[in-house]
Structure 1
């Protein structure tokens, strides 16, 4: 289902400079529509920054808008290549905020599913793969839970080392060294 009615959101996959034109970010539009000359925000990891879309490109064609499901390059005004990195999102201003702490339900893959062979304990620090990037974070287990076995479902608190664009219902992967060991969904934003 193409989600054109929701506020625009595109996770950034890559960043380029086009000489004489400026900085281009590429990615797949998750939801909404963005038109040329529309103001947007770059959210997550660094301080939120305002920008304006000055061009939309898809398969070497120039368009006047980007829609949910499109793989596009967005040309951004007043943004240097160094200002933007994979893992940030381009979003309608005010529609999504960066967060570091959240509650989630996670499922830890079994050994047969390609997951861990052993349980993990308090203070577990995996990477959370959120949209397009891995962010290291800490897992806080519920009171009375000492360890989590492969195959378990568990409610956790996650605490990331830097803020990323996040909202309730966000799905993410739990990874160790680029290897997926679990899957989760954000149930509540804390901070």
Structure 2
């Protein structure tokens, strides 16, 4: 589940996370891992709500609230992911196929060393692009394979799609093709 919002409940003793379940299911009592910037903690699910009504189980495609007890509200933030322990990892580097939009749509030349804002799930993080040796620039309406180094760890998987901004404008999209081991 991608965390889209965090609510502190009962004087900080419980935290309600709101988001959409991408795959799998979640039930009361399940152990979940918080993956992403500042993540790494595990917690047990104390409750699941859909539309502010308690449910026994939530599955892929549902927008839900997940109640976690005994975890600080500042330990969870937008852009993190709740997952089964060990099922997904956070990364600060990856290789991707990048596609730039036309200039009218916001695309602009990308060169090695450009700092872009990457958006994946509910996370938005700054990253630096490095083009392959021998390629000096990727122009609008073109694409290529690039290596990205992020400033914060983000939950990533092979084949995951993302969008990016260049000079505050939506500039293109891409797909994760390789992750470090």
> TM-score under structure 1 normalisation?
0.90
How far apart are the structure 1 equivalents of 2:68 and 2:48?
9
Query: What secondary structure is seen at the aligned counterpart in 1 of 2:41?
Result: strand
| 1:140-171 deviation digits (Å, cap 9, x = unpaired) | 10110101111111100011011111110110
Where does 1:1-191 land on structure 2 (aligned, <5 Å)?
10-19=1-10, 22-112=14-104, 114-116=105-107, 118-176=108-166, 179-190=169-180
How far apart are the structure 1 equivalents of 2:121 and 2:35?
12
| 1:50-83 deviation digits (Å, cap 9, x = unpaired) | 0011000111210111110000000012211111
Task: Tell me by how many angstroms 1:120 deviates.
Answer: 2.2
The structure-2 alpha-carbon separation of the partners of 1:158 and 1:19, relative to structure 1 and needing over 3 Å to count, comes to same
Task: Tell me by how many angstroms 1:115 deviates.
Answer: 1.6
Gaps of 5+ in 2: none
How far apart are the structure 1 equivalents of 2:9 and 2:125?
28
Query: What secondary structure is seen at the aligned counterpart in 1 of 2:115?
Result: coil
How far apart are the structure 2 equivalents of 1:145 and 1:72?
45
How far apart are the structure 1 equivalents of 2:134 and 2:70?
51
Computed over aligned residues only, the root mean square deviation of the Cα atoms, in angstroms, reads: 1.4
| 1:82-108 deviation digits (Å, cap 9, x = unpaired) | 110001000001100111111100100
> TM-score under structure 2 normalisation?
0.95
Query: What secondary structure is seen at the aligned counterpart in 2 of 1:48?
Result: coil
How far apart are the structure 1 equivalents of 2:112 and 2:178?
21
Gaps of 5+ in 1: 1-9
